[in-house]
Amino acid sequence: MELDKIENILEKYFQGETTIAEEKELKEYFSSPNVAQHLEQYQPMFGYFSQATQQKSTQEIPLQTKKRNVAWLSIAASAVVLLGIGTYFFTSQEKTAPAVAQSELGTYDNPEEALKATQKALALLSNNVNVGIGSVQYINEYEQSKNKIFKR
Is residue 7 in a domain?
A: yes
Q: In which band, very low, low, confident or very high, does the pLDDT at 100 lie, cut at 50, 70 and 90?
A: very low
- The answer to whether 34 touches 17, Cβ cutoff 8 Å, is no
As a whole number of Å, the CA-based R_g of the chain is 44
Q: In which band, very low, low, confident or very high, does the pLDDT at 147 lie, cut at 50, 70 and 90?
A: confident
Q: Clarify whether residues 43 and 15 are in a common domain.
A: yes
* C-alpha distances in Å from residue 41, one per residue of 30, 36, 49, 94: 10, 10, 14, 85
Q: What pLDDT, in 10s, does the model give residues 108-131?
A: 888 888 888 889 989 988 888 887
Domain that holds residue 88: 69-106
Q: What pLDDT, in 10s, does the model give residues 52-67?
A: 666 677 777 777 666 6
Q: Clarify whether residues 94 and 112 are in a common domain.
A: no
Q: Clarify whether residues 82 and 48 are in a common domain.
A: no
Say which residues have a Cβ less than 8 Å from residue 43's Cβ, sequence separation at least 6: 30, 35
pLDDT of residue 23: 83
- The answer to whether 58 touches 81, Cβ cutoff 8 Å, is no
Is residue 64 in a domain?
A: no
